[in-house]
Amino acid sequence: MTLSRIAPYLQAAPLTLILAAFLVLPIATIVMVSFWDYDSIQIFPDFVFTNYEETITSPVTWRTYLNTLKYTVIVWAVTLLVGFWVAYYLAFHIRSATMQMVLFLVCTIPFLTSNIIRMISWIPFLGRNGLLNQSLMTMGLIDQPLEFLLFSDFAVVLAMVHLYTLFMVTPIFNTLMRIDRALIEAARDAGASAFQILTNVIIPLAKPGIAIGSIFVVTLVMGDFITVRFMSGGQSASVGLMMANQIALLQYPAAAANAVILLVLVLLLVAAILRIVNIRKEL
């Protein structure tokens, strides 16, 4: 009987140990190092607030955080809009379960391929001599290639939407599939229009999925640096990119202070989402 009592602890131990070693300990290290001092060649233990002071008082930091928030809001809005309708289409308009599964897999397979390759693949499409510019010029819509397509904020947002919409589709699809179809029948029998069914029945019931998708997208965009660096051609900034640059310059304590601020901000955003929507019953 004792074995069955300690069994869950033994079973949970590997997960606990891995997360302790590679999540808790590293974040504790970041917090510790954020109070350390550094010069151009090394970092040394100390307890100073200069890293935070320098980060918070620098106008560059504020601009970068605002820019990151701008990306977050735009990408969140677009992925929510696109993701919801894709999930809605799969859940309510596709009638055979096999077809539903196949189309859902079609939507999720790119998620399991390389992000870097998916970013690179926009180059022949959006570049100065890219497919889009060539077609627009052939059609006579423009005389000169559009320069804003690649290496711009537009390209960053487009690539993020391309990479992250799946994180919205999957949880929303999941909640939509669980909606009892009898509720929709009942609403229709009671005289509700399609739009009323959507706003009064489906969207309220889809909220947990929307919240989970939003948490994914918000945290992914807030911490992103590779998409911003690659798709903006180094012309735009994000918090992640700022950290990556500080890391490259071996300014670890500065990067760590930045990381702590970013983490607090991300956790506040997640907490805000969880306050609005209760996702517990979804898990």
Partner 1 sequence: MTSEKRGPGFYVLTAFFILFVLFLYGPLSTIFILSFQGPNGGLTFPMNGVSLRWFENLLFEQQAVGDFGGAFSRSLLLGLMTMLTTVVVSLLAGLAFRRRFLGSGPLFYLTIASLIVPSILISLGIGLAFNVFGLEPAWYSSGFGAHLTWTLPFGLLIMFAVFNRFNPAYEEAARDLGASPWQTFAHVVLPIILPSLIGVGLFGFTLSYDEFARTLMTSGSFNTLPLEIYGMTTNVTTPVLYALGTVTTLFSMAVILIALATIAVLRKRRARRLAG
Alpha helices in the chain, H assignment, sequence order: 2-19, 25-33, 50-57, 59-88, 97-108, 115-120, 123-126, 131-138, 153-178, 181-189, 194-197, 203-223, 226-231, 239-248, 252-276
Which position among 50, 69, 80, 118 is part of the footprint of partner 1 (CB under 8 A)?
118
Part of the chain binding partner 1 (CB under 8 A), chosen from 51-59, 138-146, 200-208, 225-233: 225-233
Give the SS3 label for residue 147: coil
| Contacting range for partner 1; rule: CB under 8 A; set: 53-61, 137-145, 200-208, 244-252 | 244-252
Does residue 250 bind partner 1 (CB under 8 A)?
A: no
Binder among 113, 138, 139, 191 for partner 1 (CB under 8 A): 113
Q: Confirm or reject binding of residue 193 to partner 1 (CB under 8 A).
A: no
Binding partner 1 (rule: CB under 8 A), the pick from 97, 105, 141, 190 is: 105
Sole binder of partner 1 in the list 92, 146, 205, 245 (CB under 8 A): 92
Among 72-80, 100-108, 138-146, 203-211, which window interacts with partner 1 (CB under 8 A)?
100-108
> Are 209 and 176 spatial neighbours (Cβ–Cβ below 8 Å)?
yes
The whole-angstrom separation of Cα 172 and Cα 183 is 18
CB 164 within 8 A of CB 217: yes
**Under DSSP, is residue 37 helix (H, G, I), strand (E, B) or coil?**
strand
Q: Are 241 and 156 a contacting pair, CB within 8 Å?
A: no
Judged on CB neighbours under 10 Å (0-12, 13-18, 19+), 234 is exposed
Contacting partner 1 within 12-41 (CB under 8 A): 12, 14-16, 18-19, 21-27, 29-30, 32-33
- Smallest gap from residue 8 Cβ to partner 1 (A): 4
CB of 15 to partner 1, least distance (A): 4
71 binds partner 1 (CB under 8 A): no
79, 164, 240, 254: which one contacts partner 1 (CB under 8 A)? 240
